[in-house]
Structure 1
Amino acid sequence: MALKLGERVEYCLAVLVPRLLLALFKLLSPRRSGGSKRLPPIENPLLTLSAMQLAQKIRRREVTSVEVVQAYIDRIQEVNPLLNAVVKDRFSSALLEAAQVDKKIKENNEGEEVVKDRFPLLGVPLSVKESFSLEGMPNATGLISRAKFISSVDSPVVGLLKRAGAIPLGVTNTSELCMWLESNNHLYGITNNPYDLERTCGGSSGGEGSIIGGGAAVIGIGSDIGGSIRIPCFFNGIFGHKTTRGVVSNDGQFPEISGVRDNYLSTGPICRYAEDLLPLLKIMAGPNADKLSLSVKVDLKKLRFFTIVDDGGSLVTMPVDHQLIEAQKRVVARLEADLGVTVKEVSFPQLKYAFQIWNTLMALPDRDGKPPRPFVELMADGGSVWLIWEVIKSIFRRSEHTVAAIGFALFEKTQSSVPSPFILKQKEELQREMDELLGTDGVLLYPSHPVLAPKHHHPLFTPGNVAYTGIMNILNLPVTQCPLGLSKERLPLGVQVVAGKFQDHLTLAVAQHLEMTFGGWRDPGVV
C-alpha cells in the first residue's frame, strides 16, 4: 500500500510551506557583503594538535595550559568577527582556570599517569553549544525572550568534561530552539561557514561546527535529533558522533525534550581530530560508558562493510551530488584495497520514505499518551505566539522569530494527529532489516546530506534533505560523521559511518582509518 494522496500532500508541504515563506521574505533581506573574505591561516602550532596531544604536553610541562588557552582565545578573536560562532565568551575565567591547572601540575607528586587517569583533559580548552547549561553563561537557544537568562548550574555532560579537566571558553550559536539545519536566530544572528562565509555552517550545532572547523576550538559538545551534530560537522569538515541512545545524558538542555522525542535525541562529541572522539565519548558517557566496548581494540579487517549511495528516490530530498557519490566510492575502493575486505552495495526501499518516517515518529505521543510539546509553545516561552501575525511581522522585519521557526511551526500544524500505518510499517521493516544487516560487526557507509554546504537560507528550499541524517536517529544507530577532503568548490566532502546499536567503537575506529587515508580536517585558511 502506497501513501494516500492526502499523506503525499502533507509531506509535500514540508517543502512548499518553507519555499513560499522564503519567496516572500528573501527579497526583503539585506544583501550580505564580504563573502569573498577568507579566514586567515593558522599560524600557532598549538592550534594544530589534537586535544589528547595538548593534554599530554600540558601534563609533561612541555607547554602550559595558559599558553594553550591563550592561543585559542587569540584565534577566536581573530576569526569570530567573520564567523559569528561564539556568542558569549568567558575568556577571563578560562585564563584563571588555566593558571590553576598549571599550578596543580607544578605541585603534582603523583606522576603523569595518575593525572592522565583522573583528569584526561586537564587544561584543554572546550567550546559548548549554547543550548547546554554552562554555569554563568546564557542559555537562550536563540530566543529573544530568554536573552537575559543565565545558567546557574552545568548540564551533566558539561560537568563531566569540566571534571575531566576541560576549560570552557564560551558558548556557540544554534538555530532557533535547535530545530533547524541552519544556525540563525534573531538574538545572535547568523553563523558563517569557515570555508565560505556566504554559506551555512549547518544546525543546530552550527556554532560548534563553525568555530571548530575554523580552527578556533579543538573539541566541543553537540546534540542531534535529526542531524544536528552530523550536518554541521559535514558542512564544516570535522568529526562528530551521534551516540547510541541512553549512553550520554541529554539533561540540562533548553528546550527540554518532551514526549517520545527523547528516544531520538543524542548528545555527543564534536572535534577536529578523530583520535579525540573515543576519549571524549568515554568521558561524556560517565557511568554509562560500560554499555559500550570502548576499550576493545577493533580489527577493521574482520568487519563486514556495506554502502548505500542514496535514499532510493524520495519525494522530498534532492539527488545526491555527484562529488559526494564519487567521494563515497573512493572510500569503498580504499577500504577494499587497504583492508582486503569486500564492501557490499545494498539498498533499502524504505529509505525513500525516510523523511516521512522521521517526521511521523517525532510527532508520536509517549507511552502515557502525551504528545510532544508544540513548537509554537516553545517559541512563546510562556507567552503567546500567533503564527499568522508573526508571518505579517516578518514581512516588515518586526518578528522576533526566524522564517525557519515560523515555517516549522506552521508545518507542524498541518500534520495529522493520526500516524500513517503505512509509514509505521516502513519504519518497523527498516529497523528489523537494518539491525539484521549490521549486527555486532557490520559498518555502513551512507551519504551525510545530498548536497554540499549550501548558501545561507537555501535549506529553506529543501528541508526534506534532513532525511539522510534523521532516519538514523529513529533507528537509534550510532553514527560518526567523517570528512573526506574538499570538493572542486573547496567545500568539505564527507560520509556517515553507521554501526549497530552500542557498537559505537566500530564507527570511531573507521573514522580514525579514514582520517589517515583522506587527511581529515583541512585548514580553511589555506585551502
Structure 2
Amino acid sequence: MALSLLERVQVCLFRAFTGFLFMVFQLFSRGAAASSSRNKLPPVSNPLLLLPATQLARKIRRKEVTSVEVVQTFIDRIQEVNPFLNAVVKDRFAAALQEAAQVDKLIEEETGGEEVLEDRLPLLGVPLSVKESYSLQGMPYTTGLVSRRGIVATVDAPPVALLKRAGAIPLGVTNISELCMWSESHNHLYGITCNPYDLERIPGGSSGGEGSILASAGAVIGVGSDIGGSIRMPCFFNGIFGHKTTPGVVSCENQYPPTSGRWSEYLSSGPMCRYAEDLLPMLKIMAGPNVDMLSLNTKVDLKKLRFFTIPHDGGSAFTYPVSKELMDIQRKVAERLECDLGVQVQKVCLPELRYGFQIWDKYMGLPDKEGKPPRRFADLMGEPGRPAWPLWELLKRMVGKSDHTMAAIMLGLIEMIPISQPAAFIIPKKEKLQKELDDMLGTDGILLYPSHPRVAPKHHHPLFRPFDFAYTGILNILGLPVTQCPLGLGEEGLPLGVQVVGGKMQDHLTLAVAVYLEKTFGGWRPPGAN
C-alpha cells in the first residue's frame, strides 16, 4: 500500500521527533533503569489457582472444596505477588471471607441439588477482581485522580452487581491509568503497576491492574472497560483472554469518567480472565437483560466460518510497524486454521486502516445527537473542582508538584492542538472502512488483526509512541466485537497474541475461536515459570 509524499514526510518527522525524545528519556533514566528490580514472581504453588472459574464453582457446589478455602487461597496469592505488581490498590479480604463462609453455609443447607445451584448461582463462591473505575459498593471510586481521593462507591455498577448476584465474591479493586485514558496503569494516587512477566514492563491500560493480577494468578476472573483498547491491550500484554463486547449489550453505567458526546457508542464493558472457557458464561451474566441481543447459546462450527487476516495497518503516520514476531505468530494462526479446519484464510488489505488513529480521534470528539460535545479531558482532570490547565500542570510537573501523570498532562496538551485530518476527509474514510468490514464479516466472518505493534513496552515508553493504541481503538469506532487471545510467549519471554474480530452482534463467533486458539496455542502461561 503506497503512501503519499505528505504521509511519508509525516511518518519521518513523527518518528524522528519521538525518537529524539526517547533518547533523552533513556539518557536521564539510565541509572534508574539499571537499579530497578528484575525479580521474577514467586511461582504458582497451589493447584486451586490453576483452575478456571467454572471448574472452581463446580468444585465448590460439590463440596470438594469450600469457598472459604478458595477465597483464602487467592488472598494468599495476592499478598504474595502484589508487593511486586501493585495491581490490587484496595482489598476487601475480611468481607470476602465472610461472604465465602455464607456461601458454604448456603451449600450445606441447599436441598435442591447441584443443578439448582448451578442454574441460579453459576459463579457461587468464586473470587472476582474489579477495575477501580467501576463502582463497587464500599470501595474507592477515584479512577486514579488525586482530587477524588476519599470518594467511595455507594452502589455496584450493573455488571458487577450481576456477577455478585451470580455468586462471585469481589476481593478488591485494581489499578488503572489516570482517568482511564492511557495505555499504562499509572497515577499519583496509587502509583504504577508492573507486568508479571517482566517488572520493568507495563501491564497496559486502562485495565492494567486487572490484567496484571489475573495473569499472576491472583484472580481468576475480572471485569474491564474498553473505549480504545483498555481491555484488549492489558490482556495482550499480560497473556490472558479478554472480550470487548458489541457496544450496548453490557451496561456501562456507574463507571468513572461518565460518557459524554458519542462515547457511549464506542465504550464496551466485558470479561477478562485466564481461561477461554470462562468468557462465555461471564458474558451471559454481565449482559443481564440484554443477553438475548446475542446468540450466545448458538453452537458454532468453526469449519463453516470465513476467515480473513490483516497483518498491519498499512503504514500509518502515527503508529510504528508491527514487529516481525507478532506478524509471524499471526501467520502461524492462519496456517493452523487452514490445516486443522480445512478453511481458507484470506489475506486482505484495507487502505483506510492507516487512518485508524485519526478516525478514533475525530469520532471521539463528535457531539451527541443534541449537539452537545464530549467533556474535555482537562475538565475531567480537575474533578470535582475547576478544570486543569495542562500548560500549568506541565510546569508544575517539571518541579515535581503536579498531581497528574505526564501521560495525563500530555493528553490535555494534545487536546489543545488539532491532530486529525479535517472531518470532510476523515468521516468518508471511516464510512468506507465500516462498509468494507461489515460486508466482509457479515454473520459468519472472522478477522485476525494485530493487538499492538509490539509486545509489552517498558515503563513510560508509550509516551514516545502514544498512538500505537490505534490497532485496538479503530475497532471501538467500528462497533465490532473483539476477543483478545494469548498465543504463548515470545523471544523475550513476553506474551504474544492476536485480536479476533467478528461482525456486529456476532460475539459468540469470536468466543468460539478463542476456545480453539487456547487448545491450539496453550493459552495463558504462568509467569515466574518461564
TM bracket (short chain): over 0.9
Structure 1 residues 467 and 384: alpha-carbon distance in aligned structure 2, compared to 1, 3 A threshold: closer
Structure 1 residues 196 and 339: alpha-carbon distance in aligned structure 2, compared to 1, 3 A threshold: same
Contact 2:14 2:317 in 1 (8 A): no
Contact 1:479 1:496 in 2 (8 A): yes
> SS of the counterpart of 1:38?
coil
| Alpha-carbon distance between aligned partners in 2 of 1:520 and 1:375, rounded to the nearest angstrom | 37
Structure 1 residues 12 and 100: alpha-carbon distance in aligned structure 2, compared to 1, 3 A threshold: farther
| Alpha-carbon distance between aligned partners in 1 of 2:105 and 2:296, rounded to the nearest angstrom | 32
Contact 2:10 2:317 in 1 (8 A): no
1:297 Cα deviation from its structure 2 partner: 0.5
| Alpha-carbon distance between aligned partners in 2 of 1:279 and 1:348, rounded to the nearest angstrom | 34
> What is residue 54 of structure 1 aligned with on the other side?
56
Contact 2:130 2:224 in 1 (8 A): yes
Contact 1:274 1:515 in 2 (8 A): yes
| Mean Cα deviation higher: 73-82 or 329-338 | 329-338
Contact 1:244 1:502 in 2 (8 A): yes
Amino acid at match of 1:512: V
> SS of the counterpart of 2:81?
helix
Aligned residue-pair number: 526
Q: Deviations along 1:171-223, whole A, 9 cap, x unmatched?
A: 00000000000000000000000000000000000000000011110000000
> SS of the counterpart of 1:196?
coil
Instruction: Please report the TM-score for the alignment, with normalisation by the length of structure 2.
Output: 0.95
| Alpha-carbon distance between aligned partners in 1 of 2:251 and 2:12, rounded to the nearest angstrom | 32
**Structure 1 residues without counterparts, runs of 5 or longer:** none
Amino acid at match of 1:36: R
1:476 aligns with 2:460: no
> What is residue 32 of structure 2 aligned with on the other side?
31
1:50-199 correspondence to structure 2 within 5 Å: 50-199=52-201
> What is residue 492 of structure 1 aligned with on the other side?
495
> What is residue 414 of structure 2 aligned with on the other side?
411
Structure 1 residues 361 and 12: alpha-carbon distance in aligned structure 2, compared to 1, 3 A threshold: farther
| Alpha-carbon distance between aligned partners in 2 of 1:179 and 1:19, rounded to the nearest angstrom | 24
Contact 1:15 1:461 in 2 (8 A): no
Structure 1 residues 155 and 30: alpha-carbon distance in aligned structure 2, compared to 1, 3 A threshold: farther
| Alpha-carbon distance between aligned partners in 1 of 2:353 and 2:497, rounded to the nearest angstrom | 20
Structure 1 residues 30 and 131: alpha-carbon distance in aligned structure 2, compared to 1, 3 A threshold: farther
1:14 Cα deviation from its structure 2 partner: 11
1:400 aligns with 2:403: yes
Contact 1:19 1:460 in 2 (8 A): no
Amino acid at match of 1:294: L
| Alpha-carbon distance between aligned partners in 1 of 2:53 and 2:480, rounded to the nearest angstrom | 26
For residue 376 of structure 2, the aligned residue among 370, 374, 377 is 374
| Alpha-carbon distance between aligned partners in 1 of 2:454 and 2:22, rounded to the nearest angstrom | 22
What percentage of residue pairs aligned between the two structures are identical?
64
Instruction: Please report the TM-score for the alignment, with normalisation by the length of structure 1.
Output: 0.96
Amino acid at match of 2:54: M
1:398 Cα deviation from its structure 2 partner: 1.1
**Structure 2 residues without counterparts, runs of 5 or longer:** none
> SS of the counterpart of 2:199?
strand
1:253-268 correspondence to structure 2 within 5 Å: 253-268=255-270
For residue 513 of structure 1, the aligned residue among 501, 516, 526 is 516
For residue 463 of structure 1, the aligned residue among 437, 461, 466 is 466
Q: Deviations along 1:5-41, whole A, 9 cap, x unmatched?
A: 79x9799889968985995798379825443200011
> What is residue 334 of structure 2 aligned with on the other side?
332
> What is residue 307 of structure 1 aligned with on the other side?
309
Contact 1:12 1:316 in 2 (8 A): no
Contact 2:175 2:193 in 1 (8 A): yes
> What is residue 429 of structure 2 aligned with on the other side?
426
Structure 1 residues 102 and 30: alpha-carbon distance in aligned structure 2, compared to 1, 3 A threshold: farther
For residue 247 of structure 1, the aligned residue among 246, 249, 255 is 249
Structure 1 residues 418 and 429: alpha-carbon distance in aligned structure 2, compared to 1, 3 A threshold: closer
Contact 1:18 1:460 in 2 (8 A): no
Structure 1 residues 80 and 212: alpha-carbon distance in aligned structure 2, compared to 1, 3 A threshold: same
1:203 aligns with 2:205: yes
Amino acid at match of 1:423: I
Contact 1:22 1:403 in 2 (8 A): no
1:122 Cα deviation from its structure 2 partner: 0.4
| Alpha-carbon distance between aligned partners in 1 of 2:396 and 2:151, rounded to the nearest angstrom | 25
1:270 aligns with 2:278: no
Structure 1 residues 18 and 361: alpha-carbon distance in aligned structure 2, compared to 1, 3 A threshold: farther
| Mean Cα deviation higher: 374-383 or 25-34 | 25-34
| Alpha-carbon distance between aligned partners in 2 of 1:151 and 1:60, rounded to the nearest angstrom | 34
Structure 1 residues 509 and 12: alpha-carbon distance in aligned structure 2, compared to 1, 3 A threshold: farther
| Alpha-carbon distance between aligned partners in 1 of 2:246 and 2:136, rounded to the nearest angstrom | 24
> SS of the counterpart of 1:490?
coil
> SS of the counterpart of 1:104?
helix
Amino acid at match of 1:111: G
For residue 436 of structure 1, the aligned residue among 435, 439, 443 is 439
Structure 1 residues 17 and 176: alpha-carbon distance in aligned structure 2, compared to 1, 3 A threshold: farther
For residue 236 of structure 1, the aligned residue among 214, 238, 241 is 238
1:393 Cα deviation from its structure 2 partner: 1.0
1:418 Cα deviation from its structure 2 partner: 9.1
